[in-house]
A = this chain, B = another copy of it.
Amino acid sequence: MNKILAVGSLAFDTISTPAGKAEKALGGSLNYFSISASFFTGLQIVGVVGEDFPKTHLDFLSKRAIDIRGVQVMPGKTFHWTGEYGADLNEAVTLSTQLNVFEHFNPKIPDEYRDAEYVFLGNIAPELQMCVLDQVRKPKLIALDSMNFWITGRRDALVNVLPKIDLLTINEGEAKLLAGESNVVVAAEKILLMGPKAVVIKRGEYGAFLFFGNEIFSCPAVPIRRVVDPTGAGDTFAGGLLGYLASEGAGLDRKSLRQAVLHGAVMASFTVEDFSFHRLQRLEKGEIHARFHSLVETTKV
C-alpha cells in the first residue's frame, strides 16, 4: 500500500446553507482530504489543533488507517471558520476566520513519514507547503491545492512552489486569478507553464477539467438532487483523486489521471449531500463503485 503524506488544516466550521445550519462542525482541508482518501489507501497526516479539539475525532481518524502522529495539539483554540452559502451553492461567503493555533502552524514531518511516495500539500501558506517539501525524501507524486487568499496575498511564494509539484488542484475562479486570465482554458495553459505537469480545474456542480499532456479531459459532476452543504467538496475531490492514484501505485499517465479525476468527482458528490463529513462517515465502498459506474455511464456516447 502506497501511503499518502497529507498536510492541511483541521478546523471547526460554522456553516449556513439554504438547507440548514451546522454549528462548530468538524472540518478543515486535511480532514476532508484524509477521510476521502482513506477509502482508497493509508495516510500519514500533519496538522495542528487546539486543546478544544475532540480526542474522539482523532481516534476516528486513527481507526480509518490514518496515522495521526503528525498532528500537533497546541495550547489554545482550534481554527474556526464561519461561512454561508446563498442560492448559488458554488460560492461560499466567509463571515469570519479565527486562525487560532493555526496561525503559528509549523509543519514538522515525523521521520517515519519522510519516505512517503505520495504527498498532498493542502490549502495552507505556500511557504509552509515549501517547508514540507524540504522535509520529504523522494516522493513519486506531489499534489498541491491553494486558494484566493494565498494567490492574492502570497503570490511569489506560491509561484516558487509550483515548479516543484506534479499536480495542481484549483477552483475555476482561483485558476483565473492565478493566471490573470478570464478564459478558463487559457488560464489552465498558463498555469501549466508555471510548473505543474498536470492541472485539475474544479468547477463545482459543473464538474472538472484535467489539463495534461496537451489534452483536456472533461469530467462531469455526479448529478445531485439535493445539495445540503458544499463545504469540503474540493478537498474531498482531491482526496478521491490522490487516494485512487496511490491505491493503484500510479504516476502521471493519461488513463490513471482520468480515472482518478472521476473518483474525485464521485467522492465530492457524497460530501455535499450532508453537513460536515457526515455522509462520508456512513459511506460504504460499494456506493463508491456504484456511483463511479453510473457517472461513467453519463458520458458514454
Contacts and interface: CB of A to CB of B under 8 A. Distances in A.
A259 B216 contact: no
Q: Count copies of this chain in the complex.
A: 2
B298 A218 contact: yes
A220 interface: yes
A41 to B, nearest CB: 21
A136 B299 CA distance: 35
Interface in A259-279: 259, 262
A224 B182 contact: no
A186 interface: yes
Interface string A207-238: 10100000111101101111100000000000
A63 interface: no
A51 B255 CA distance: 58
A301 B298 CA distance: 12
A183 B224 CA distance: 8
A147 B262 CA distance: 33
A203 B299 CA distance: 16
Contacts of A298: 215-218
A209 B185 contact: no
A173 to B, nearest CB: 12
A111 interface: no
A296 interface: yes
A180 to B, nearest CB: 14
B183 A227 contact: yes
A246 to B, nearest CB: 19
Nearest to A298: B218
A284 interface: no
Contact of A258 (B205, B207, B209, B300): B300
Interface string A145-186: 000000000000000000000000000000000000011111
28 contacts: A18-B182, A183-B225, A183-B226, A183-B227, A184-B223, A185-B224, A185-B225, A186-B225, A186-B226, A203-B206, A206-B206, A206-B207, A207-B218, A207-B220, A215-B297, A215-B298, A216-B223, A216-B298, A217-B298, A217-B299, A218-B221, A218-B223, A218-B298, A218-B299, A220-B220, A258-B300, A258-B301, A262-B301
